């Protein structure tokens, strides 16, 4: 795994390298780095509104929500379920199957997961319900395991036949409950490969790998016990399904069905927030992801990254490459560089402000900072180099092609550039301020020097050095 690195700056002042500091800036056109893991599915849909309806239909927004339950009422929940257990346990010590089936359904329904009994291999899980069901299932499994553990402590040392019978019934209820709950794992593994399926598979793998060994120890189930065997098979199926999804992630990032509609002001593309948020969600079950990546290259023509850090680095590089390719569609001179500057800055800040930063290799931040400096340099050369070059002539001399003197040519080029870039936007306040200073630092001194070298030139109204600085300070508002 890649080690944690120190975030450093190669230069000071208005250099964009300072913008990797999380304390500098908090606005790249969106609220926080958490917004692509929103709690409200409606927020998720708002952020991916650039995507087509067919793509949205394949994405379950609730897959991007954390599955950790609220523990404020856990004790009350345990007590409530213990009371239900007392009423239902007799059915699991009886020989009749019908009342046991009814009791099992009632037991699971009390956890809001009675629907697992209706799942089978012939009925696929609706993709739009995956996230919601996985969340409910994970919370139910965790609560159920606590209830069994609590009751088992009370009856594990039977002093009479009645207590021994209750312990046997408790084990039977646990086995049938655990077996029924595994049906979701099979349904998730059977889904078609997609980004949300990977999150769901990891979210199911983690609680199964934690809860089922504990139940087996609690009730002394051997490896050959049906529940133990089924849980091992379910975990293996989830790992295999997750590996297929991981191998497809690069293709998902490049997916042609995503309409790469480019922001015409050069802003941050919605896909940046989506995928950077997705990577964070993927890491919420790092142990499960470790098992997916470990040994995933055996007998495969598509090798997996060696660890979580390698996977994150690889996928971010893929995203950056796609952005670079798509930026060619921006026709105005310099706009491509503003677009890449905005998006590289957004990727950098989202990475260093999150747990992704612990997985990135040494030099990763510095490489992006240097890349941003390159985008600024190319933007200045493309957009403002031709403007400043108009001042190279002598006052009164006519430009052969434009038939006007250098100062008039400068004013015209300046106005044309400001008008063309009037809709360009740099959402990050710190980056916007730094870019304005850089533009002003290249244009204003040249203009001041020209006027100083040619005192005989009459400066038109509204064309003083200070007024030029004010004009340039309004750039990149969009």
Q: Which DSSP string corresponds to 336-387? A: HHHHHHHHHHHHHHHHHTSGGGGGSPTTHHHHHHHHHHHHHHHHIIIIIHHH
Question: How far apart are alpha carbons 476 and 427 in whole angstroms?
Answer: 8
Buried/exposed 178-202: b ≥16 CB within 10 Å, e otherwise:
bebbbbbbbbbbebebbbbbbbbbb
In the DSSP assignment, the letter for residue 112 is T
Q: Beta-strand (E) ranges in 209-323?
A: none
Q: How far is Cα 340 from Cα 332, in angstroms, rounded to an integer?
A: 14
User: What is the per-residue pLDDT for 127?
Assistant: 76
What integer pLDDT is reported at residue 53 of this predicted model?
A: 41
Give per-residue burial for 29-56: e unless 16+ CB within 10 Å, then b. bbeebeebbbeebeebeebbebbeeeee
Strands (E), 30-142: none
Sign, Cα dihedral of 63, 65, 71, 74: negative
**For residue 349, what are its two tokens?**
């800040």
Angle, alpha carbons 117-120-126 (nearest 5°): 95
Token pair 């995503």 is found at: 258
pLDDT at residue 50 in the model: 39
How many CA atoms within 13 Å lie on the side-chain side of 93? 16
Burial class (CB in 10 A: 0-12, 13-18, 19+), 70: exposed
Q: How far apart, in whole angstroms, are the C-alpha atoms of residue 266 and residue 426?
A: 7
> 223, 67, 252: which is closest to 142 by C-alpha?
67
- Answer yes or no: pTM beyond 0.85: no
DSSP line for 11-53:
--TT-GGGGGSTTT---SSSS-TTTTS-SSHHHHHHHTTTS-H
Per-residue tens of pLDDT for the chain, all 478 residues:
444 333 333 333 333 334 444 444 545 544 333 333 444 444 344 444 434 444 344 445 445 555 444 444 455 688 899 999 999 998 998 655 567 889 999 999 999 999 999 987 656 677 788 999 999 999 999 999 999 999 999 888 767 778 888 899 999 999 999 999 999 999 999 999 999 999 999 999 999 999 999 999 999 999 999 999 999 999 999 999 999 999 999 999 988 655 567 888 999 999 999 999 999 999 999 999 999 998 766 555 667 888 899 999 999 999 999 999 999 888 888 999 999 999 999 999 999 999 999 999 999 999 999 999 999 999 999 999 999 999 986 555 444 444 457 899 999 999 999 999 999 999 999 999 999 999 999 999 999 999 999 888 888 898 999 999 999 999 998 7
Please write the tens of the pLDDT for every residue from 443-465: 999 999 999 998 888 888 989 99
**Which structure tokens are listed for 280?**
């964070």
Measure the CA–CA gap between 140 and 132, rounded to whole angstroms. 12
């Amino acid at each position: 795994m890649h080690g944690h690195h120190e975030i450093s700056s190669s230069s000071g002042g208005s250099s964009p390298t300072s913008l990797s500091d999380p304390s500098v800036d908090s606005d790249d056109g969106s609220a926080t780095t958490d917004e692509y893991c929103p709690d409200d599915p409606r927020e998720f849909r708002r952020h991916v509104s650039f995507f087509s309806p067919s793509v949205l239909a394949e994405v379950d927004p609730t897959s991007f929500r954390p599955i950790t339950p609220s523990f404020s009422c856990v004790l009350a929940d345990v007590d409530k379920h213990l009371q239900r257990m007392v009423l239902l346990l007799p059915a699991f010590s009886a020989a009749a199957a019908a009342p046991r089936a009814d009791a099992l359904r009632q037991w699971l329904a009390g956890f809001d997961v009675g629907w697992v009994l209706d799942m089978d291999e012939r009925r696929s899980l609706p993709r739009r319900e995956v996230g919601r069901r996985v969340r409910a299932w994970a919370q139910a499994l965790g609560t159920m395991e606590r209830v069994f553990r609590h009751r088992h402590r009370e009856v594990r040392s039977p002093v009479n036949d009645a207590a021994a019978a209750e312990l046997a019934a408790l084990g039977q209820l646990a086995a049938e409950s655990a077996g029924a709950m595994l049906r979701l794992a099979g349904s998730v593994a059977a889904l078609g490969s997609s980004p949300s399926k990977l999150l769901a598979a990891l979210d199911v793998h983690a609680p199964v790998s934690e809860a089922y060994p504990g139940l087996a120890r609690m009730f002394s189930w051997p490896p050959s016990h049906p529940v133990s065997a089924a849980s091992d098979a379910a975990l293996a199926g989830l790992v295999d399904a997750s590996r297929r999804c991981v191998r497809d992630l690069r293709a998902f990032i490049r997916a042609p069905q995503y309409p790469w509609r480019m922001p015409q002001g050069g802003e941050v593309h919605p896909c940046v927030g989506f995928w950077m948020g997705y990577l964070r969600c993927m890491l919420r079950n790092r142990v499960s992801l470790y098992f997916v990546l470990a040994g995933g290259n055996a007998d495969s023509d598509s090798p997996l990254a060696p660890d979580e850090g390698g996977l994150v680095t690889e996928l971010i590089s893929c995203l950056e490459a796609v952005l670079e390719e798509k930026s060619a569609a921006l026709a105005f001179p310099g706009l491509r560089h503003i677009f890449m500057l905005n998006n590289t800055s957004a990727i950098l800040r989202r990475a260093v402000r999150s747990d992704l930063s612990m997985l990135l290799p040494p030099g990763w931040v510095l490489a992006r900072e240097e890349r941003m400096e390159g985008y600024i340099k190319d933007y200045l050369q493309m957009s403002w180099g031709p403007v400043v070059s108009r001042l190279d002539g002598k006052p009164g001399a006519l430009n052969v092609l434009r038939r006007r003197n250098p100062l008039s040519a400068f004013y015209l080029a300046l106005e044309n550039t400001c008008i063309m870039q009037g809709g360009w936007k740099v959402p990050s306040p710190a980056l916007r301020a730094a870019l304005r200073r850089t533009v002003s630092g290249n244009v204003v001194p040249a203009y001041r020097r020209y006027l100083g070298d040619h005192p005989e030139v009459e400066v038109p109204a509204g064309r003083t050095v200070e007024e030029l600085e004010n004009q340039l300070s309004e750039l990149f508002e969009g």
